[in-house]
Structure 1
Amino acid sequence: MATVITVQADSREECAATLDRLCGDYDLVMRLPPMRSPGTDRWIARATAAPGLVVEGRVD
């Protein structure tokens, strides 16, 4: 399984903006758009390395 990057924030806007910035800066691909995290009243989103990107000496 590829490495998964998770963003948690208090608002949908903050979560989306942070995920967009990380995807742009690190060539990540969004895998889970911002959604409410069950039971925490926070927003969560996820991204993974882009296909073909070398991560720690391996190709994802």
Structure 2
Amino acid sequence: MDLVVTVQTNSRESCAAQLRRLCVLASLTPILMPTRSLGTERWMARATPAAPAEGGEGRG
């Protein structure tokens, strides 16, 4: 997986909505659903143009 894009917002709901929007607009696949970022107390999610790895590997 070469490219990973991160979404970071102040609320879980906003993070999930922006992740969905980004995935639709840029044809990305979520690899990390909204999770509280340690240290910043913000919500973070990640996506990539590649298909998510199998076997869990932190993908939600």
Task: In structure 2, list runs of 5 or more residues that go unmatched.
Answer: 52-60
TM-score (norm 1): 0.79
1:19 partner letter? L
1:1-60 correspondence to structure 2 within 5 Å: 1-51=1-51
Task: In structure 1, list runs of 5 or more residues that go unmatched.
Answer: 52-60
CA contact (8 A) 1:36 1:42 kept: yes
**Runs of 4+ in structure 1 displaced over 3 angstroms?**
none
TM-score (norm 2): 0.79
2:18 partner letter? T
RMSD (Å) for aligned C-alpha atoms:
1.0
| Aligned-partner Cα distance in 2 for 1:12–1:41 | 11
| Aligned-partner Cα distance in 2 for 1:19–1:27 | 11
**What's the % identity of the aligned pairs?**
57
**Which structure is larger by alpha-carbon Rg, 1 or 2?**
1
